[in-house]
Amino acid sequence: MGKVICFITIFFFGPYLQSQNSGYIEYGYIKNLGVNYETTGTLVFDSEASLFIELKSTDKITDKIYSQDEKGNTTVAVMKEMDVRPKNYISKKKDSLYSIQTFFKKTYLVKEVIPEIAWVLTNETKNIGEFSCQKATGAFRGRNYTVWFTNEIPLPYGPWKLNGLPGLILEAKDDLDELYFFAKKVALGKEEIISKPQAEIVIELKAFISLKVKLYKDKEKLIATKVPRNSQFKFTPPARSSQKEITYEWEIKTD
Amino acid sequence: MGNKNRLNIGFTLAVFIIFKNFCFSQTILSGNVSDSIGAISSASIVLKDNVSQSIQTYSYSDINGNYQIKTNLQGSFNLVFSSMGYQSKTKRIFIDKEKKEIITPIVLIEKPYFLNEVIIKSPEAILVKKDTIVFNAAIFSNGTEQTVEELLKKIPGLEIDNEGTIKVGNKEIEKLMVDGDDLFEKGYKILSKNMPAYPIKEIEVLENYSNNRLLKNIEESDKVALNLKLKDDAKHIWFGTIEASLGNDNFYELKSNLMNFGKKNKYYFFTNLNTIGFDATGDINNLIRPFRLNEPASIGDNQSIRTLLNLSPNNLNFKRSRTNFNNAELVSLNAIFNPTEKLKIKTLGFFNWDENNFFRNSIDIVNTDNANFINTEQYKLRNKKVIAFGKLDIIYNYSKTKMLEATTKYNFGDFNDSSNLVFNGVSTMESLKHQNTLVDQKINYTNKFKDKNVFLLTGRFIHEKTPQHYSLNQFFYSDLFPSASTANNVAQKGDLQMDFLGVNAHLLNRKKSGSLLELQIGNTFRKDKLLSTFSILEDDLVLEQPNGYQNNTTYLVNDLYVKSKYRLKVNNFGIIGQLAVHQLFNSLENNNISDSQSPFYINPSIGFDWEINDKNKITSSYSYNTTNAKVIDVFSDFVLTGFRSFEKGTGSFNQLDASSFVINYQLGNWSDRFFANTFVIYSKNYDFFSTNTQIDKNVTQTEKILISDREFINVNSKLDYYFKFISSNLKLDLAYTKTEFKNSVNGSSLRQVNSNNYHLGLEVRSGFKGVFNFHLGTKWMTTEIETTVKNSFTDNISFLDLTFLFSKAFDVQVQSERYYFGNLLNDNTYYFLDFDARYRLIENKLTLGITGKNLFNTKTFRNFNISDIGSSSTEYRLLPRFVLLKMEYRF
């Protein structure tokens, strides 16, 4: 029996070594949930935590966008980009995922356990940039994702809430073509400050979903009372199928 | 062979194994990852296939550096250990069913890492089409609404008034589209009052809307349009409704709609036959003669004939359907064809037959310095009309940036109005037969020659003719015509004709900063003919055609103009400056006396709008306008305008100057708990047409005179506040209007007339989730008119609506109103009660209902009015109580 003892003379590079586990990735982020929305997302990470931020779109997005095609058909998009950006912060130590979400002009820090996605690895590989990537598929909250991750960056992070693979996810797409993330720039070894985001209201994810339903109902009641005589009003919140997360784990009835 | 030898267990490191009893083929791979210092947490351990090098399974090391992978695979694999900042290590392992556990500790060597930035080219795969679709909260009905109008009433910020005018905020909508196609433009009431609501999936409110697609994002538009998006299963199929209602005393209604909305062609046919007072066309005039303010290529929209003599019912602050005794038939055929990608053809036609009866009794008190008398009148009016209207639109998009539109309209109306009245005890009959013929052709060429620059060239031709024949079987004017002693009836033949030809070139240039420059050059030519022949008859013999009562007027106006407009936009602040320069050429021939003039004038205007923040918006503007007199202002001899009134114009040219100032402040938004909208409007007419009236008991003669200085001010504020604890909204509406002008009565010197109006309205509306909801409101209006005498009165209108949604299939709505007239000594309070109950027998197929109107059977209704010469109290006959049994079938 031999001892396998490896002693390596380490040449300290000071701060470089400390931050060698960190990096920064810029993703293109396309959402096709009823409105075509293209923007950029940034992911900063180290071995303990990651932070994904959805940036404002560089196209001037106004409250309402109109387009008329040659046939004269009009289509409208109604959106507003808030100044407080959506964020997703994963803390391995706390095994928690914290998201910043704005709803009816209030900002919430939504807390949940880091979601475990049952990834199925396939044997397909391809190169993204200079990274060799492998394909994996997994279902997460009602959507089926096909992702490409690279073990050359051996950390379990990815864009938005996608996580848990043996390498960083550089490309992710859902099977309905409604969500698409693709890495545009990868900068490794860069010193990054990753801090847990703050918000005025801290709430658990399940409680947050119920709160949204209640706030929509309250808004409906408020508006219903403002319409003039001979009118009625009823309001339905956006359908789940138009959200990133279609179903939640606690909503799936298990027999 | 030597497989076992490959596995070494290091004793400097802790080994930590979990041993569980799984099915025999599962193998556990575990171990510990460390570097020279200690454990490495979050290191990646992957099991790669030997051949393909693809990862089969994986894990990460925990905080102590320990890892565990469970696998059912067998064979030869590579176990790869990596962590950022270390060199990866690969260990060959062989898994067979014998080995339950393979322990592989590993020590990684640090690798100096340099900053490394990799740029990845984005993939082309995803198409990003800027074809956005509406993302509005879907608005669903609660099932009680039947027509689109009722469904639209459910959208916040949309107001539907008594007559069906749809407004968003304060703006009337431009059009009501179905899946992006517009059939009726401003005549949308035809669609909203008749089309059923159930095929509608979503309603989009399009603000900053441009009627012309090439002007989008170039023109400054605060126009609003609505687009009804249909459910997918309602497209490409023929569907419709038939509704039949039958009640007591010959009250009935039969409605049917047939439609097919496809992508290429859309068809919409409907009919309405009723005797319940309902006007299915809404206001037909909005369809025949739409009026669009500030709309490019709208030259000629404001040109129309105004007739002088009309026999029509009064406009009451009251549901018109209550006083409209009718027998109406309406058929409308409409279609949109898209035969090719570039060509769109819209056709629209309707035929309307209607017979309306109207009844009123009035007592008129004239009380001025030099005239005092009382007149009584019992009036029965019957209007019979037949209207045929056709419109053809051809839109040819010959490229992405060029478009040609041609619109042709034809209208023919034949009217037979007669009235039966008793005037101061004398039985009188009037008859007015008239026709209206309109031909209207417009061609518009739009060229978007650069990304933010558009050029429009428009030409318009309109010909309209309204011949009239009026006869009256009494002679009330012996004081005016003492020589006609044996006269016993009068007649007037009139003809008004208009020919209009206009050309307009319009350039829009939207700058990068958001500022907009507009330049227009054009010429309009209008020729009006006004002919009136007044005859005094004895039976069939013409006794006299008195001088001073015959008109043969030809009025030509040619306007050559240049208009410029610049909107400067700086962040949230916009300034608009406008300048219009007009060179007119007027020619007037009145009974063979001709005259001409060439006035020149400049009209400036300046305004601003400022969005201070999300909650505060303010707009203001000032403008100076000059209006050229119209043909009805310039004719020289008297025209009979009613059975006891004559009117004449000034007989000469006039240009009227006016200044107006508007300021609007908006606090909050309609979807907030608190919302307030305030307007202040002030206008001053430096000269205006007032009247010099000779009032006698039997006849009134009015002459238009030019007077200076009329002032008008209106302050209006609307507030909304939502009380969460009672789930109800309170609306407060305050208004004050003041008008000051002068006129002359019976040869007096000019006397000042001041009129003040105060208005206070309160409404509370509940938003309960359950079965019951209410809507309660009350409105006080005080009117004061002061000349040498001061007259005033206060009225109050209150209402209470109750809604009961017993279930999805059954609902009842009750509406009650109370009217109170302050100046009537008795019979000054009136109550009305209507109800509507619906039961859906077969969901989406068959609905039964009962409707009752005017359940208190209020037969007459009196109101009170004051004017600058006295007051009048009028009683109107109302449709009596009726109950209808309804059945609606959908297919």
The Cα A189–Cα A169 span in angstroms is 17
The CA R_g of chain A, rounded to the nearest whole Å, is 22
- For B231, phi then psi, to 5°, come to -65, 150
Q: How confident is the model at residue B675, as a pLDDT?
A: 85
Is residue A100 a part of any domain in this protein? yes
CATH number at residue B92: 2.60.40.10
- Is B65 within a domain? yes
* Residue B49 dihedral angles phi and psi, to the nearest 5°: -70, 135
Q: Which of A48, A223, A240 to mutate to test the interface with B (most CBs of B within 10 A)?
A: A223
The closest CB to that of A223, out of B177, B671, B769, belongs to B671
Per the CB < 8 Å rule, is B206 touching A131?
no
Q: Is residue A93 part of a domain?
A: yes
Q: Which of A62, A66, A61, A57 is nearest to A29 (CA)?
A: A57
Report CB contact under 8 Å: A233, B139: yes
Model pLDDT for residues A120-175, shown as the tens digit of each residue? 998 889 988 888 999 999 999 989 999 999 988 888 999 999 999 999 999 999 98
pLDDT, average across residues B63-81: 87
B388 & B281 share domain = yes
If asked whether residues B209 and B316 sit together in one domain, one would say: no
Q: How far apart are CA B41 and CA A154, in angstroms?
A: 12
Q: For residue B14, is pLDDT > 50? A: no
Residues 41-100 of B with CB under 8 A from A: 41-46, 49, 52-60, 80, 82-85, 88
CATH number at residue A87: 2.50.20
Contact predicate B46/B55, CB 8 Å:
yes
* Residue B815: C-alpha distances to residues B161, B799, B800, B832, B852 (Å): 15, 7, 6, 8, 10
Q: How many domains does chain B contain in total? A: 3
Q: Which two tokens stand for residue B178?
A: 């179905």
User: Who wins on pLDDT, B337 or B767?
Assistant: B337
Best-predicted range by mean pLDDT (B208-212, B235-239, B297-301, B485-489): B485-489
How many domains does one find in chain A?
Answer: 1
Helices (H) and strands (E) in chain B, counts: 5, 48
> B368 in a domain, yes or no?
yes
Is B586 in the same domain as B680?
A: yes
Q: Is B208 on the interface with A (CB under 8 A)?
A: yes
CB B831 within 8 A of CB B843: no
> Which pLDDT tens digit goes with each residue over B681-691?
999 999 889 88
Tell me, yes or no, whether B101 and B152 share the same domain.
no
For the CA atoms of B230, B232, B236, B242, what is the dihedral angle to 10 degrees?
A: -60
Q: Provide the pLDDT for residue B283.
A: 55
What does the pLDDT average to over B714-728?
A: 86
How high is the ipTM of this complex?
0.76
* Domain span holding position B72: 3-107
pLDDT at B196: 66
Helix (H) or strand (E) holding B495: strand B489-510
The Cβ of residue B288 has, within 10 Å, a number of other Cβ atoms equal to 21
Q: Rounded CA gap, A18 and B85, in Å? A: 9
Alpha helix ranges (H) inside chain A: 15-18, 205-224
What is the domain range of residue A239?
A: 15-67+77-116+169-251
In terms of Cα–Cα distance, which of A225, A200, A158, A173 is closest to A23?
A158
- Work out the number of other CB atoms within 10 angstroms of the CB of residue B451: 10
Do B282 and B353 lie in one domain? The reply is: yes
The last residue of one of the domains, among B711, B727, B749, is B749
Q: What percent of chain A has pLDDT over 70?
A: 73
> Would B876 be classed as within a structural domain?
no
**Alpha-carbon separation of residue B76 from B29, B52, B102, B534, B735 (angstroms):** 13, 12, 13, 115, 89
A35-44: string of b/e by CB count within 10 Å (b at 16+)?
bbbbbbbbbb
Q: Are residues B351 and B464 located together in one domain of the fold?
A: yes
Same domain, B471 and B336: yes
B606 with B464, same domain: the answer is yes
For position B222, what pLDDT does the model report? 66
Give the residue-averaged pLDDT of B550-570: 93
pLDDT at B142 over 50: no
- Backbone angle region of B164, left / alpha / beta, with phi > 0 → left and psi within -120 to 50 → alpha: left
Pairing of strands B426-450, B453-472: antiparallel
From chain B, pick out residues whose CB is under 8 angstroms from the CB of A34: 133-135
Burial class (CB in 10 A: 0-12, 13-18, 19+), B457: middle
Domain identity same for B294 and B427: yes
Distance, CA of B287 to CA of B391 (rounded, Å)? 9
Model confidence at B115, in pLDDT bands (50, 70, 90)? low
d(CA B343, CA B332): 24
When pLDDT is averaged across residues A80-85 and rounded to a whole number, the result is: 73
HSE-CB for B805 with a 13 A CA cutoff:
14
User: Which residues from chain A sit within 8 angstroms of residue B213, using beta carbons?
Assistant: 68, 72, 74
- Beta-bridged to residue B510, according to DSSP, are B516
Give contacts of A122 with chain B, Cβ < 8 Å.
54
**Under an 8 A CB cutoff, do B58 and A165 touch?**
yes
Q: Would residue B877 count as lying in a domain?
A: no
The CATH number of residue B504's host domain is 2.40.170
pLDDT of residue B108: 85
